[in-house]
Amino acid sequence: MRHVRQYPDPVLRRQCVDVVDFDDELRALAERMYSIMDDAWGVGLAAPQLGLLLNIFTYRVSELDEPAAMVNPKIEWSSDETDIDDEGCLSLGELRVSVSRAVSIKVTGHDLFGEPVAHDLEGFAARVFQHEIDHLAGVLAFDRAIDDQSRAAALGYLRPKP
């Protein structure tokens, strides 16, 4: 996967900063992110996965959708109902880890032109957004593993081999 930072790259653990300039450079970054995400068959890609500490991620939760970007996202509401499912991550190689996520969320943020946007999401789309927003806070999927045993197994898998 070209240019996607891999764990344990320290940039993946850093907190991102809000985007303030909604300019051609930001839109070019989003186009690059779409390309990298699609080349890797990903459904989401956050800026820190490219080494950039900016609050932006790209996503495409269905093959029928065009890729899109969310800038400065905030989860405004999440359901009490949760669901456990396995998650992969372009920064964690072939690892899949069981993660509990809210089934429904409301996310606000901006589009690539700085216009406010809001999404009410359920199911897989809600999971993708939560995963990508975690990246923007330096949180990785195995940090949210359903139990210590799963987390330990993930870290063991990711440990460099001699």
- Looking at the predicted structure, is the pLDDT value of residue 106 above 70? yes
Which strands, in side-by-side order, build the sheet including 56-59? 44-46, 56-59, 68-78, 104-110, 116-122
**Which residue out of 31, 63, 81, 132 is catalytically annotated?**
132
pTM: 0.96
- Looking at the predicted structure, is the pLDDT value of residue 22 above 60? yes
The label of the residue with tokens 């939560």 reads 130
Q: What value does the mean pLDDT take over residues 146-153?
A: 92
pLDDT of 2 reads 65
- Looking at the predicted structure, is the pLDDT value of residue 161 above 90? no
Q: Which has the higher per-residue pLDDT, 154 or 53?
A: 53
Reported confidence tier of residue 159, pLDDT bands at 50, 70, 90:
confident
Annotated catalytic residue 31:
no
User: How many Å separate Cα 30 from the centre of its chain?
Assistant: 14
Alpha-carbon distances, residue 117 vs 18, 55, 58, 114, 132 (angstroms): 15, 15, 14, 9, 17
The Cα–Cα gap between 69 and 58 comes to 4
pLDDT of 76 reads 99
CB atoms closer than 10 angstroms to residue 7: 18
The label of the residue with tokens 């999440």 reads 78
CATH architecture of 10-158: Alpha-Beta Complex (3.90)
Closest CA to 90 of 4, 31, 28: 4
pLDDT digits (tens, 9 = 90+) for 125-137: 999 999 999 999 9
